[in-house]
Amino acid sequence: MPRYAMVIDTRRCISCMACVVACKAENDVAPAHFRTRIREEISGTFPDLRAETRSELCNHCDNPPCVYNCPTRASYKNEETGMVLLHKNKCIGCKACIAACPYDARYVDPVKGVVDKCTFCDHRIAAGKQPACVATCVGGSRVFGDLDNPNSSVSILLRQHPSEVLLAGAGTEPRVFYIKHYRTPR
């Protein structure tokens, strides 16, 4: 069984927003809502500043608070792929999952009246394609693959470079990894 994950190499992100647009077009995301976003973070004290651009999306956590807080089992963790998905026909729109998500990755689809979120483009994966945001990423910042396959690009990247997850302290065990600096060559 595959264990899908995404690696985001922040050094390769050029903030072109192609992923945001591709996701919106591919998944027919409701107006004024987005399943992924780009965040720019500037840290340090002037003039020694460091800018980081980072894409954010659903982290498909292994310990997902949105799934635990769902009262109807609409939100679930797919045991085969490890992706956090939704049975939209079971969603009552109580918004508990939105409140529970520390990554603010969910929203209410105002047209359908149910909660929606990133699915890692599971329909594309089933057809043997990459998620739309990965396929369109011009800088090669987004990489998608199977963690259980040692030869997949995500496994190789995670072996080669130190990586981080967002809010590791929250204990959600995310499946989206960020590479912020490369390992110094020997």
CA distance 19 to 143: 12
User: With binding defined as CB under 8 A, does residue 10 bind another protein?
Assistant: no
Q: Which of 22, 26, 25, 35 is nearest to 127 (CA)?
A: 26
Provide, rounded to whole angstroms, the least separation between the CB of residue 11 and another protein. Answer: 16
**Segment 33 to 62, residues that bind another protein, using CB under 8 A:** 33-34, 36-46, 53, 56
Provide, rounded to whole angstroms, the least separation between the CB of residue 93 and another protein. Answer: 2
For another protein, which residue of 7, 61, 103, 146 counts as binding (CB under 8 A)? 103
CA distance 6 to 131: 10
CA distance 51 to 62: 30
Q: Which of 77, 71, 57 is nearest to 117 (CA)?
A: 57
Sketch the per residue contact string, 107 through 136, with another protein: x for CB under 8 A, - otherwise.
Answer: xx---xxxx---------------------
The neighbour count for residue 10, using CB atoms within 10 Å, is 16
Sketch the per residue contact string, 147 through 176, with another protein: x for CB under 8 A, - otherwise.
Answer: -------------------xx--xxx----
CA distance 60 to 10: 19
For another protein, which residue of 58, 70, 133, 143 counts as binding (CB under 8 A)? 70
Q: Which of 24, 40, 38 is nearest to 116 (CA)?
A: 24
Binding site for another protein (CB under 8 A): 15, 17, 20, 32-34, 36-46, 53, 56, 65, 68-74, 89-96, 98-105, 107-108, 112-115, 166-167, 170-172
